[in-house]
Structure 1
């Protein structure tokens, strides 16, 4: 492992004061200051020396330094200009021997279309307010991502990893399943953050499918069906999908043709059944 000093509570507050950063709910900023937590994320993601890792929302650099400590290369996407400018300086100070392995992109992750160098894994403490849109966007745009571990709000993590029939199974569950398999990997206490959030956090890991279930046209069609199916959860699929197929009768015919029950509800269908319907 590389010789790296990690950030603790004092360093986090000092950096925030230096930059005049007041963590905002708008940007979903909660900075991790616990060494054990960031090392746990890196270990759970099975980061190996030499790998190219993508990080989103590095903030003040707690997790970034832990990834560098594992001798990996890091491309970090940061929307806050002050934080993006400071991060290389923090790496120079706390991880001098491996600071050149860090690349910082000052950009909104939702607008990123490509990341040079084809990162193989996503390891991130995702901003709570945009975690699902960011995940889905990056998985769509960056097919080089084969696995990852992200820290998200507990409720969001449970939705991503939910199975059909679960109360929290919904559109994010199905859309995430298009790209790979997902599972929760343990809760994270609130006290490891500054400021302390009002919600619990969880680690969620994913493994990308070797091949996607279909092409881009299929994905768009599937996602449109999924949005309609869960847009009115209490309605039967023949009614919920009437806007997609033109009428409840046509939706029923499509469902029956796919071997599905028109009176079922969206939460009963697996990703495979939604794909069957989209085809």
Structure 2
């Protein structure tokens, strides 16, 4: 029996690929983004596709989308909380408003959608929440501190929330990709700090050059990740995390090794 998917940020990038993979698997997909037209332009007139407008920072709109989806299709089997963007740059170059906007979208917007959908899943004692995080939710580097902070917050929230939901039949999957070959690093999705600080000028110039060079040349194929997510959604014994890409696996492994070393040093009382 076909499942009903609700996908946020589905007009482009990984969200669009997940929506397309689910449609190709014969699922019903409610694909959302701020612009319905962009969703339809990106996915076409696919059978099973229903496009709705949603700004995830609007809690009322999230509730309306969840209610409309359940009323029309009877359930939401899979929620893909994907919508987000990146503030890329050095922390001191961001205003307070810019930092808060990063959290408003990536964390609080994602929470809005989960808060709207989860009651329907709890009522059925069934459902899967797929949360698109990032390896940057496990590892932070210079130039990514603000973005990583929002993703670290996502990780902490969902790690605990998943344990609260598991006894009620609702499953969770945290997805932590490496660098995906999407437009995530262009100026539609990424933003840079607006404060000029000469002490950081050289390092920021190098970082922006890295971002510009990497954009469009990332090593990982988003369509492969999308297919894996759709396949996992039908599997029993679902693991709680999916780390995707050789780069992400290497960075996550190095972080684990570093933590083990620091734990061992902390335990050494001599």
TM-score category, normalised to shorter length:
0.3 to 0.5
Looking at both structures, which has the greater relative contact order when contacts are Cα pairs under 8 Å and sequence separation is at least 6?
2
Name the structure where helix makes up a greater proportion of residues.
2
Length-normalised TM-score, structure 1: 0.40
Q: Which protein has the larger Cα radius of gyration, Structure 1 or Structure 2?
A: 1
Length-normalised TM-score, structure 2: 0.41
